């Protein structure tokens, strides 16, 4: 059993209240000492927010980041409540709180984490909670040095997970997906595509760069050599074993 794990749920895993409940149950049942949860927005929420923003017209970069941050801010609240409903102690980690860890530059639509500041804040505010409480962190967003919301770009909750895992020196990162792990080929093209048990981080990076929608390529840059990364199928219902390492 590893001690410290960051578990990230994608939007498809959180597409309904039933799924949020199922995801929270998986976390409550997971066999880890210290858990940090990172959530994406529920279902296609971000697409919806993005469309609405486009329809409005000329929104500033700052407004854009503020508007599309709302998906993760809602889902983290639902997730926290779902954990509490299962007897777990959970704490919402939202950018409006003083304990928000992820600081970025002011490139609002595609912000880059400031690893020095983020590391400092993660160690100060998140690490002390672990073991006793499960922090539930809004993925995909940051705050700039002036406290304004920024966006890490589409798929950015993977980045949140790997950045926090690096700062916390987590033993493992679990990316929960609606897929039976990482496949050897595109199943739409190769019918006998099989699920891989293990692959090299460079192969994973090439797959991600090539457009396999498994993980945001930039997120992989934050992975630590001694850190296990697993892509786990949501429908397996079990986070502790299986998936693609």
Binding site for Mg ion (CB under 5 A): 11, 40-41, 46
User: Segment contacting ligand ASP (CB under 6 A): 21-29, 127-135, 149-157, 203-211?
Assistant: 149-157
Nearer to ligand ASP, 88 or 162 (CB): 162
Nearer to ligand ASP, 161 or 167 (CB): 161
Nearer to ligand ASP, 11 or 95 (CB): 11
Interface with ligand ASP, residue 157, by CB under 6 A = yes
Question: Which of 13, 40, 179, 244 is the binder for ligand ASP (CB under 6 A)?
Answer: 40
Interface with ligand ASP, residue 11, by CB under 6 A = yes
Q: Shortest distance, CB of residue 75 to ligand ASP, whole angstroms?
A: 9
User: Segment contacting ligand ASP (CB under 6 A): 102-110, 151-159, 169-177, 222-230?
Assistant: 151-159
What is the DSSP track for the chain? --SEEEEEE-GGGGSSHHHHHHHHHHHHH---SEEEEEE--STTHHHHHHHHHHHH----HHHHHHHHTHHHHHHHHHHHHHHHHTT--EEEE-TTSTT---BB-S-TTS--B-HHHHHHHIIIIIGGGTTT-EEEEETTEEE-TTS-EEE--TTTHHHHHHHHHHHTT-SEEEEEESSSSEESS-TTT-TT--EES---HHHHHHHHHTT-TTS-HHHHTT--TT-EEEEEEGGG--SSS-SB-
Q: Shortest distance, CB of residue 45 to ligand ASP, whole angstroms?
A: 7
């Amino acid at each position: 059993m590893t001690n410290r794990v960051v578990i990230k749920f994608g939007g498809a895993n959180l597409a309904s209240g039933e799924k949020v409940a199922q995801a929270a149950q998986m976390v409550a049942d997971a066999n880890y000492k210290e858990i940090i949860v990172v959530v994406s927005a529920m279902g296609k929420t971000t697409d919806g927010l993005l469309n609405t923003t486009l329809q409005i017209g000329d929104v500033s970069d700052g407004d854009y980041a503020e508007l599309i941050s709302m998906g993760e801010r809602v889902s983290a609240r639902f997730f926290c409540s779902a954990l509490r409903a299962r007897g777990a102690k959970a704490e919402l980690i939202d950018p409006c709180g003083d304990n928000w860890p992820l600081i970025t530059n002011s490139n609002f639509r595609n912000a880059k984490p400031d690893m020095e500041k983020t590391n400092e804040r993660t160690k100060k505010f998140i690490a002390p909670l672990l073991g006793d409480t499960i922090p539930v962190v809004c993925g995909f967003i940051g705050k700039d040095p002036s406290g304004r919301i920024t966006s890490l770009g589409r798929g950015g909750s993977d980045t949140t997970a790997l950045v926090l895992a690096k700062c916390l020196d987590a033993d493992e990162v679990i990316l929960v997906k609606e897929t039976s792990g990482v496949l050897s080929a595109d199943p739409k093209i190769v019918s006998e595509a099989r699920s891989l048990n293990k692959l090299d981080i460079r192969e994973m990076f090439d797959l991600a760069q090539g457009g396999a929608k498994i993980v945001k390529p930039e997120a992989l840059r934050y992975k630590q050599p001694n850190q296990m990364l697993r892509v786990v199928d949501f429908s397996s219902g079990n986070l502790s074993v299986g998936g693609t390492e």
